[in-house]
Amino acid sequence: MHSSTAPTTIRSEWRREFLSVLPHNRAHAGAIRAAIAVVLPIAILSLTGHPTLTLYATFGAMAGVFGRHSTYAARWRLQAAAGLALTTAVVVGTLVAVVAPASFLAVAAIAVLSVAGLLLSRRIGLLPVPSLFLVFATGSTSAFAHAPVDLIWAAVLPLGAATFAVLLGQVGRILPSLRDSAAPSTPAKHGLRPAVPFRDILGAPGVRRDIVRYLVGPLAAGALATAVGIGHPYWAAVAATVPLSGATLGAQLGRGSQRLVGTILGVALAALLLSFDPPLVWLIVIVAAAQLWAELFILRNYALATVGVTPLALVMVHLASPLPLAELVSDRLVETVIGVVVAVVVLLVTPSPRPQNRPVREATIGRF
């Protein structure tokens, strides 16, 4: 057996992934940008009487979480690509919902977008791997019925929010006092790189195995949750995507454990906050605080980040399509367990050798 898969090595890697908290490293700069990019569209739509449209805009705004350690020139290109991908996922999910909401067709669409996210990451160096974001965008918008006219909102709102996020990521160019030291204006380690041809991507070691993982993981988890009739099957697909991009099996198992623990704590926090039936303004405040917390820890410890991610996701769903609180939190817990278990099975049946020189933390962050 390869040393990277020896039980002692796996336990060591699991422990390191699960328990370590990386240094702050100016995390607040990217966290503030991401929080503003997400919260402002939600606030505008909610306070103008359109809370059900917030879900569309939120996913476009997530473009702001990409390229945080890139040069300004690289950042806007990476964020623009992410914004277009997220807008596509929202449109696909809405289109599926026009035809057959919360169906196996939706699960199939989720799986296709998951693979698309992996290939996009390999092609242009987009990190974190956007599959989880695309899975969540496709799944959440396909989960409830839409009218054909909703396709207009599904295209315009995420694209507009993504554009705002891209501009926000460039504010340091205009206002030097706000310049992000992680994004120097001259080419550096995280500068632009040429796009990799798809032929080379598919021929690279381990890529076809990863394609199978990113296809089968969310597909199996989403299909299982759909078959048993749980209310939010895409949450299982999201949870199944989280561990897949870990650098080693131990790190992947650690990431799955972090998802479970963080979700349990986050669900408890969300249940407490929502039990008071907070008014709209306070829901927006919760979103802002949760997004900021998640971004502060997402590259440092995923369990801590998930404590913020979970209330954020539940409030987003609550704004778009209110449900009884007990149903909301129980669905989240059950589907997270389903997704993580499916991911572990997929990883165990598709073993891989230890990767070399991989940017572990940047490559493996995930949300929702």
Structural domain includes residue 297 = yes
pLDDT per residue as tens digits for the range 133-175: 999 999 999 999 999 999 999 999 999 999 999 999 998 887 7
- The separation between CA 307 and the C-alpha centre of its own chain, rounded to angstroms, equals 14
Structural domain includes residue 16 = no
* CB of 142 closer than 8 Å to CB of 93: yes
Structural domain includes residue 337 = yes
> Residue written as tokens 């207009």?
152
**DSSP strand E in 159-208: where?**
none
C-alpha distances (whole Å) from 313 to each of 69, 100, 170, 270 are 25, 23, 27, 9
pLDDT over 90 at 191, yes or no: no
Angle 349-132-257 from CA coordinates, rounded to 5° = 60
C-alpha distances (whole Å) from 207 to each of 86, 123, 175, 203, 259 are 22, 12, 41, 7, 24
Q: What is the pLDDT, as a whole number, of residue 161?
A: 98
Structural domain includes residue 13 = no
3-class secondary structure per residue, 224-277: HHHHCCCCCHHHHHHHHHHHHHCCCHHHHHHHHHHHHHHHHHHHHHHHHHHHCC
User: For residue 131, which amino acid is it?
Assistant: S
Q: What is the pLDDT, as a whole number, of residue 362?
A: 44
Structural domain includes residue 344 = yes
Structural domain includes residue 15 = no
Task: Quickly state the pLDDT bin for 13 (edges 50, 70, 90).
Answer: confident
User: 0.75 cut: is pTM over it?
Assistant: yes
Structural domain includes residue 3 = no
Question: Half-sphere exposure of 284 toward its Cβ, with a 13 Å CA cutoff?
Answer: 18
In whole angstroms, what is the distance from residue 210 CA to residue 208 CA? 5
- Calculate what percentage of the chain has a pLDDT beyond 90: 70
If you compute the radius of gyration of the chain from its CA atoms, what whole number of angstroms results?
19
Angle of the 104-124 helix axis to the 207-227 helix axis, nearest 10 = 160
Angle 238-234-153 from CA coordinates, rounded to 5° = 105
Q: DSSP class of residue 321? A: S
Q: What is the pLDDT, as a whole number, of residue 122?
A: 96
pLDDT over 50 at 186, yes or no: no
In whole angstroms, what is the distance from residue 321 CA to residue 315 CA? 10
Structural domain includes residue 5 = no
Task: Quickly state the pLDDT bin for 8 (edges 50, 70, 90).
Answer: confident
Residues in the chain: 368
Contacts of 44 (CB under 8 A, 6+ apart): none
pLDDT over 90 at 365, yes or no: no
Task: Quickly state the pLDDT bin for 367 (edges 50, 70, 90).
Answer: low
- Mean per-residue pLDDT for 9-21? 87
Q: What is the DSSP string of 270-316?
A: HHHHHHT---HHHHHHHHHHHHHHHHHHTTT-HHHHHHHHHHHHHHH
In whole angstroms, what is the distance from residue 341 CA to residue 240 CA? 8
Domain containing 141 equals 25-186+196-364
* CB of 70 closer than 8 Å to CB of 188: no
pLDDT per residue as tens digits for the range 334-360: 999 999 999 999 999 998 765 544 444
* CB of 135 closer than 8 Å to CB of 33: no
Q: What is the pLDDT, as a whole number, of residue 246?
A: 81
pLDDT per residue as tens digits for the range 209-255: 999 999 999 999 999 999 999 889 999 999 999 999 888 899 999 99
Coil, helix or strand at residue 208: helix
* Number of domains within the chain: 1
pLDDT over 80 at 206, yes or no: yes
Query: What is the largest distance, in Å, between two alpha-carbon atoms of the chain?
Result: 60
* CB of 350 closer than 8 Å to CB of 209: yes
pLDDT per residue as tens digits for the range 80-135: 999 999 999 999 999 999 999 999 999 999 999 999 999 999 999 998 899 999 99
Q: Alpha helices of 20-128 — where are they, by DSSP H?
A: 27-47, 54-61, 72-99, 104-124
